[in-house]
Structure 1
Amino acid sequence: TRHDTVVTRWAIDHPVHDLFNGLARQKWKRRSCGTGAHGQRIYDWARVEVRPWHRDDRRHWALARRSVSRPEEISYYIAYCPADTTLDELIRIAGSRWAIEECFQSAKQECGLDDYQVRRYPGWHRHMTLAMAAHA
């Protein structure tokens, strides 16, 4: 959310919203993150590097997804990926979240993924494994 914080060069708890608040217009790219129920899901996207203490071959990014019709609506993602990962790749991966959520919703309705009453991990693990196998 806009109130979550990230580690930056300037602060340990830096509000993620402030990273994108004054970002130059050319840093925002209009891209589709995949097909949804009503066609292409097109948003404005931008990324800012966070957590400057990293391995040479990896990067942490704060990724912002801004609504085209309502620019005040912004969603945020944190990504940890290879250093050469492009913005388009991050957008594609962020867009895959919708399909994953649809799969879990379907599994809850059809296979009882959320209908368990257990108190220990082995029981929960068995239930989840069988529900996911049934859903597959």
Structure 2
Amino acid sequence: MAAGHSVDPARWQEAFEDLMAQIAGRFARVEPRRRVGRLVLGLLSDLPRKNCWTIAEWAGESAPDGMQHLLGRAKWESLAALDAFR
């Protein structure tokens, strides 16, 4: 049996939302705060290639600009967020 079959989706969703709540204060603006959740879900998805283009498209965005901005220019406490992810 694959590990994915033993995961309770509601419990997983709750844990994911708790994690996003823990790191929400690490972002200066609401847009990157929302986008990071979509980025993480995209990274966890079954996309064959994971880059800003494919994740942005998967998340329903028309271009990768927002994902690229999040990773390269947005103001956020990346090390503090990383600690929460650990």
**Larger proportion of helix:** 2
Higher RCO, Cα 8 Å, sep 6+: 2
With structure 1 as the length reference, what TM-score do the two structures score?
0.20
- Greater gyration radius: 1
With normalisation by structure 2, the TM-score equals 0.28
Higher strand proportion, which one?
A: 1
